[in-house]
Amino acid sequence: MARFLTPFAFCFALALLLGAGCLLSTDSETIVHDPQFVEIYLQHGFLDELNTFGGTLTKDLVMDGSITVAFWLSTEEQQTILERAEQMSFFSLPDTFPAEAGVSINPDPSPDKLRIRSGNRDHTVVWSYPRDPGDTLSAIPRQLSEFIFSIVRQTPTYKALPQPRGGWI
């Protein structure tokens, strides 16, 4: 009888572990989050990316590659970002800000991209480095992206991610 219980106990334990794994899944379909009335796609720096269209956040770990996790913004965070975007006239910016002519950076993190969709407004701005210092508008998408990532960095989800090893100069 002991032989019968051992395989049975093993199968039962395996079923429990598999079931627990399903409950711990970070599949974006199973996580409850605030509705995303402001959707953001932000490719920033080398590998940092916020994509609330798809519900993901990717953090650049430099020497260790990157990590992607399920991520959404709270209603309050979305409202704060939308207010800042409106204050900075993001939705009326040109679509592209090229790098300063005749100057290059190596390694080059360019281009960065910020797309914000809210209601019937949907605008994308792409910019490259180094920024033309004579173009004052070209600072706006960079400043807005830094503001958005300052909010993201304060979330428990981001704080739980591993620290990068190494850095970009």
d(CA 59, CA 66): 5
Q: Return the C-alpha torsion angle 137, 90, 113, 122, nearest 10.
A: -150
Instruction: Please tell me the predicted confidence (pLDDT) of residue 167.
Output: 73
d(CA 113, CA 96): 9
* pTM to 2 decimal places: 0.77
The CATH architecture annotation of domain 30-159 reads 2-Layer Sandwich (3.30)
Residue-wise pLDDT tens digits, 36-50: 999 999 998 788 999
Domain ranges of the chain: 30-159
E strand or H helix that includes residue 76 = helix 75-87
Eight-state DSSP code of residue 166 = S
Instruction: Please tell me the predicted confidence (pLDDT) of residue 53.
Output: 96
* pLDDT-above-90 percentage for the chain: 56
